[in-house]
Amino acid sequence: MAGMSAASTSLDHIPAFTVPSGNDQNNGFPIFLNKKLFMVFIVSDALSLFSSTTSVLMFLGILTSRYEDEDFLESLPRKMIIGLSALFFSIAAMMTAFFAALILMLHE
């Protein structure tokens, strides 16, 4: 699971620097800045990045912690649920960002 989270996190960094259709050469802003689908893309990409980072930190917290017997009843399942939920939310947000960018690029 930690490997999946790390891969998701590394993939979520890419669209922050390379936006769909590039930037305007005169002012440096993205070309599709005023389109609603571009805002959907930016927000879903930011949510995906945040949630995948959360899942990586949860799984690293699980791997590096020393647990006693009673921690396996409360702390470990709670961290696993948070990590898996953040991972699944990250994948859903990443798919939303992908489809928003795809529709934005192919619509015109």
Mean pLDDT computed over 48-59? 91
> Is residue 70 predicted with pLDDT exceeding 80?
no
Q: What angle separates helix 36-64 from helix 2-17, to the nearest 10 degrees?
A: 150
- 54 CA to centre of own chain: 9
Mean pLDDT computed over 20-27? 70
- Domain ranges in the chain are 1-17+34-65+83-108
Among 24-28, 75-79, 92-96, top mean pLDDT goes to 92-96
Q: Residue 27's pLDDT is what?
A: 79
Cα–Cα dist 68/100, whole Å: 46
